[in-house]
Amino acid sequence: MSSTPIEPSLNNSREQTHYDLDRYQVVPRRYYGRITASAVILILLALLVNAFAHGNIEWSFVAQFFTAQAILNGVVNTLIMSVLAMGLGVLFGVITAIMYMSPNPVLHYIAVGYAWIFRGTPLILQLLLWFNLALVFPTISIPGLFSVQTVTFMTPFLAALLGLSINQGAYTSEVVRAGLLSVDTGQYEAAKAIGMPRLQALHRIILPQAMRVILPPVGNEFISMIKTTSLASMIQYSELLYNTQTIYFANARVMELLFVAGIWYLIVVTLLSFGQSRLERYFSRGHRQRQ
């Protein structure tokens, strides 16, 4: 009795299912939605650029006032206010974060109330309150030491500095607190085990490790502070936007002067963003090495 061979049929089926891939052309997938969206965006940008290029804007005035003395003074005053307000804001934020995490209930609730008040009210309102403080306290005095009229003491510079820094401290306290909580609890326990006081442990052990988490948002807050100082124009502080407004009130070149201010803000923010990235790489060196 003979049997039909199976092996040849298997070989034939394998030969039939074999494909020569070299005969085929690889065609990349077409993303028509992306291509269409990109084309639409480019067309809109081109139309926007063309509108500003042919609009009723005298670009020669932009170049003329870009380096005007009043504008340069405004840039300097903006930088000075930003640095001082951010420095005090970070100081207030660190102190408030430590108070918030304190086991002392009085310190804890004072920190909670501080953040609640200054994060819950508009910054422009706080600036106006500081600037008009003389309506509540006509004089500021310490009996037997000094007495001064509040209206002469509370200058636009001081009112802007107090308003911006105290408001910033309320936001920075949450950033610092998040950074402190990111440090492993074992670090706190180790410092306590060797008898290191709490503040000394924060200064030498905890804060250096928390800087990797704290620095990026604080850097963003500083960049935001550069633009937030423009609110100080409401209380007549001579920063960039206020000086810009003073000029265009005189010559009626509103758009041209606003473009000047916008370009200067972009230049300052770009330089600060570059410095922020360098600082972040510096403080994250140890973290990258451990990875």
* pLDDT number for residue 162: 94
Strands 139-142 and 146-149: antiparallel
Question: 29-54 pLDDT, tens per residue?
Answer: 878 888 899 999 999 999 988 888 77
Dig out the tokens for 58 from the structure.
């005298």
Mean pLDDT of the chain: 84
pLDDT at 237 over 80: yes
Q: Where are the domains of the chain?
A: 58-284
Instruction: Please state the pTM of the whole predicted model.
Output: 0.77
Alpha-carbon gap, residue 1 to 16, rounded angstroms: 31
* pLDDT number for residue 240: 93
The dihedral region occupied by 94, where left means phi > 0, alpha psi between -120 and 50, and beta the remainder, is: alpha
pLDDT at 163 over 60: yes
* pLDDT number for residue 7: 52
| Cα distances (angstroms) measured from residue 199 to each of 184, 185, 191, 203 | 17, 15, 11, 6
Task: Give me the phi and psi of 57, to 5 degrees please.
Answer: -130, 125
Alpha-carbon gap, residue 117 to 261, rounded angstroms: 32
CATH fold, domain 58-284, is MetI-like fold (1.10.3720)
